[in-house]
Amino acid sequence: MAFPSVAVWNQETADISRENRKRQASPCSFFCSQGQSICLSADYFIDSRLATAARGGVAGKHRHKVQLALYGQLMAAFEYMLKDFFAKTLDATSVFDEQVKKADWLSITTDRILMQRVVQASIGSTLVHPTMGWHTPEIVNKRFDNFFGHKPVSGNQLSTLSKLWILRHSVAHNAGFVTANDAARINQANLSERVVNIDADFIKESFSFLQEIAKDLASNCGKSLIAQWFKSVKDYGANYTRDEATYNRIKLLSVCETRRTQELPEITEAMYTADWAVYAV
C-alpha cells in the first residue's frame, strides 16, 4: 500500500502561507486559525447545501461521521498548541535550560537521536512533542506553572476540559462509542454503551471554550517568558540589533491572533524598547 503523499490542496496559496507562518511562530494563533477552519468545515455539509433528494437519514449518518472526525482534529490541534508553546520556547532561549534538566517529563532517548538521520527536528520538538500527559489538565497546569509561574487552565475549566478529553478518547479509540466507564467519568449515564452525537454546534462551543485557554496561555505564559528573558539579558544593556532575532521569536509566542484571516503582527524596535522598560528592571 502506497503511503499518502502531501495533500494536493496544500499549495502556497495566501491562506496556506499565512497558516504556515502562524504554525512556525505563534502556536496559540495557529490553534485559533485551525479551530476556526474546523468549525467552518463542521458547518459545511448542512442540508441547505444538499439537493433536496440528498437530505435525510443517509446524509445525517455521513455528516455525523465527518463531525466526529472534526472533533478529534480540534482536540489534536489543542494538544499540538500546548506542546508547541513549550517546544518553541526551548528553541528560542536558554533561559529554561536548568529547569529542563530537572523536569522528569523531559528526556532524550536513543530512538529520538537516531531519528535525526531521517528528519532533522529542533531541540524543543525533540524534547517535547513525543511526551505524554497532555490530556490531563492538572499535569498541564503543573508543567506550565513550573516553567512560567501560571496555570493556563483555571479551576472552573478543569472539569470541562477533562470531559472534552474523555470524549476525544471515545472518538479516537472507540469510533465515538462511549463505554460505561467513560460515561460515568463525564457523568452522562445516558451515553453509556452508545455513540455520542457530536454536531457542528458542539464543535463550535468546544472551540470557543478552548480558545479562551489559548488566549490565557499566550497572554500570561507569554508575558512570563518575556519577563524571564529580559531579566537574563538586562546586565548587557538594551540593544535591539543584538536581541532582535530572539525577541521576535519570544514576542510572537505571546501573541494569540484570534482572526483566521489576519496576519501576525510585525514585531518592532518600539515594542522591544517598551518591554525593556517594563521587564528589564
Task: State how far the Cα of 274 lies from the Cα of 281, in Å rounded to an integer.
Answer: 12
pLDDT of residue 166: 96
Whole-model pTM?
Answer: 0.94
Q: Is residue 9 very low, low, confident or very high in pLDDT (cuts 50, 70, 90)?
A: low
Chain CA centroid to CA 124, Å: 15
| pLDDT at residue number 51 | 80
**Which pLDDT belongs to residue 45?**
82
Q: What is the pLDDT of residues 59-100, one digit of tens each?
A: 888 888 999 999 999 999 999 999 999 999 999 999 999 999
> CA separation (Å) from 77 to 52, 183, 243?
34, 24, 31
Q: How far is CA 54 from CA 49, 50, 63, 65, in A?
A: 10, 6, 12, 16
Find the mean pLDDT for residues 136-154.
98
- Cell of residue 165, nine digits: 478529553
Is the predicted pLDDT of residue 167 greater than 80, yes or no? yes
Q: At 98, which amino acid appears?
A: E
The C-alpha cell at 175 is 469510533
Q: What is the pLDDT confidence band of residue 8, given thresholds at 50, 70 and 90? A: low
| Residue 104 confidence class, pLDDT cut points 50, 70, 90 | very high
How far apart are alpha carbons 91 and 229 in whole angstroms?
13
pLDDT at 3 over 80: no
Q: Kind and range of the H or E element at 194?
A: strand 194-195
What integer pLDDT is reported at residue 79 of this predicted model?
98
Q: What burial class does residue 88 get, using C-beta atoms within 10 Å of its C-beta: 0-12 exposed, 13-18 middle, 19+ buried?
A: buried
CA quadruple 253, 254, 258, 260: dihedral positive or negative?
negative
